[in-house]
């Protein structure tokens, strides 16, 4: 269906339920970056449901509180790197406090298509200070596992360029003047983003998946890792 969207560069994360005995978020975040991410997430979602888990999917820009502002700011090109960063952080804080955390407390597995790592990569690519952005999201719960779907930049861009009818202003980083040509700007901007993701692999222990492998091979890896985490979480929960 949405062939473009499954090639976006960005992570996804999996949150596991907060333990009832110890109401802290389990550190099983998974984050992805690379092509095929949304497809993998969708397959994981179905698999977890088939296993009887309560699964919830959370997206960026979905908060009732700020979505109109974000839309307006993008449409009118009013956002600077700082306000772009801050409005997305506001959106994220709203979702995490009013949706993700209550769902986790209720026992759901929460799947996030893009999480704080998206903001870290994107905002830094836009010129914001690396530490400032990390501090900004200091309130965010750490996910259990964060998958990073790695593809060679040119492969990802090649797919994106052919699969899409042009790029949006902020998506292509046209706001920071890397190039007047949207495709070239997109290429340069995504290059910066990928550089940031690569730096985050060791910093945050992102789980790397080779996104050039066949879809089913990637999914098998993802499920194996998620299964291990879920079993470990279950063991911890049943312990006296």
Using CB under 8 A as the binding rule, whether residue 86 contacts a second copy is answered as yes
Contact in structure between 35 and 159 (CB atoms under 8 Å) = yes
# of chain residues touching a second copy (CB under 8 A): 26
Pick from 82, 106, 217, 220: which binds a second copy (CB under 8 A)?
Answer: 82
Residues 6+ apart with CB under 8 A from 155: 35, 212
Biggest CA pair distance of the chain: 62
- Where are the alpha helices (H) located in 137-214, listed in sequence order? 153-163, 182-204
Smaller CB distance to a second copy: residue 129 or 203?
A: 129
Q: Radius of gyration over alpha carbons of the chain, in Å?
A: 18
Give the range of 32-40, 41-49, 77-85, 112-120 binding a second copy by CB under 8 A. 77-85
Which string of x and - marks every residue 11-40 that binds a second copy (by CB under 8 A)? ------------------------------
Using CB under 8 A as the binding rule, whether residue 69 contacts a second copy is answered as yes
On the CB side of 216, CA atoms within 13 Å amount to 0
Smaller CB distance to a second copy: residue 129 or 210?
A: 129
Smaller CB distance to a second copy: residue 82 or 215?
A: 82
Pick from 83, 162, 224, 228: which binds a second copy (CB under 8 A)?
Answer: 83
- Judged by phi (left if over 0) then psi (alpha if -120 to 50, else beta), residue 58 lies in beta
- Name the nearest CA neighbour of 4 among 162, 185, 123: 162
| Count of residues in the chain | 240
Q: State in angstroms the smallest separation of the CB of 83 from a second copy.
A: 5
Residues within the interface to a second copy (CB under 8 A): 64-66, 68-69, 72-73, 78-80, 82-83, 86-87, 89-90, 93-94, 97-98, 129, 132, 135-136, 138-139
């Amino acid at each position: 269906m949405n062939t473009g969207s499954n090639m976006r560069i960005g992570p996804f994360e999996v949150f596991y339920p907060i333990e009832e005995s110890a109401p802290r978020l389990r550190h099983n975040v998974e984050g992805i970056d690379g092509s095929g991410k949304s497809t993998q997430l969708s397959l994981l979602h179905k698999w977890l449901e088939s296993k009887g888990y309560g699964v919830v999917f959370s997206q960026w820009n979905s908060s009732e509180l700020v979505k109109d502002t974000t839309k307006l700011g993008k449409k009118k090109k009013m956002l600077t790197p700082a306000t772009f960063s801050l409005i997305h952080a506001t959106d994220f804080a709203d979702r995490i406090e009013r949706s993700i955390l209550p769902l986790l407390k209720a026992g759901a597995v929460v799947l996030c298509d893009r999480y704080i790592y998206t903001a870290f990569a994107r905002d830094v690519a836009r010129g914001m200070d690396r530490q400032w952005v990390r501090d900004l999201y200091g309130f965010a719960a750490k996910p259990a596992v964060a998958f990073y779907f790695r593809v060679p930049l040119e492969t990802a861009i090649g797919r994106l360029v052919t699969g899409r009818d042009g790029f949006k202003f902020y998506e292509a980083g046209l706001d920071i003047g890397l190039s007047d040509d949207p495709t070239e700007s997109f290429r340069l901007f995504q290059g910066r983003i990928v550089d940031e993701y690569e730096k985050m692999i060791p910093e945050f222990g992102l789980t790397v998946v080779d996104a050039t492998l066949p879809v089913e091979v990637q999914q098998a890896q993802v499920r194996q890792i998620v299964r291990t985490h879920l079993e470990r979480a279950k063991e911890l929960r049943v312990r006296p």
